Amino acid sequence: MKILVTNDDGVSADGLWILVRELANIAEVVVVAPDREQSAAGTAVTLWEPLRIRKVQPVVHGVETYAVEGTPSDSVLLALGSLIKGKVDLVVSGINWGLNLGDDIYISGTVSAALQGYLHGCPALAVSAERDSEPGFQIAARLVTMLAGRFNASPPADNLFLNINVPNVPLARIGRIQVTRLASESHINTVTEGNDGKRNYYWLVRQRQDGSQGRKTDVWAVDHGHISITPLFTSLPTRTLSALLNNLCSGLLEELTGSAV
Contacts with Mn ion by CB under 5 A lie at 8-9, 39, 96
Kindly tell me which of 39 and 71 has the beta carbon lying closer to Mn ion: 39
- Max distance between CA atoms of the chain, in angstroms, equals 62
Other Cβ atoms less than 10 A from the Cβ of 89: the count is 17
What residues contact 34, with CB distance under 8 A and at least 6 apart? 7, 8, 10, 11, 41, 67, 68, 69, 70, 71, 72, 74, 75, 109
Q: How far is the CB of 211 from Mn ion (least distance, A)?
A: 22
Kindly tell me which of 8 and 74 has the beta carbon lying closer to Mn ion: 8
Q: How far is the CB of 8 from Mn ion (least distance, A)?
A: 4
Q: Report the residue number whose CB is nearest to Mn ion.
A: 39
Q: What is the distance between the alpha carbons of residues 234 and 10, in angstroms, rounded to a whole number?
A: 28
Kindly tell me which of 112 and 180 has the beta carbon lying closer to Mn ion: 112
Q: How far is the CB of 94 from Mn ion (least distance, A)?
A: 8
Q: How far is the CB of 40 from Mn ion (least distance, A)?
A: 7
Other Cβ atoms less than 10 A from the Cβ of 93: the count is 33
Kindly tell me which of 96 and 163 has the beta carbon lying closer to Mn ion: 96
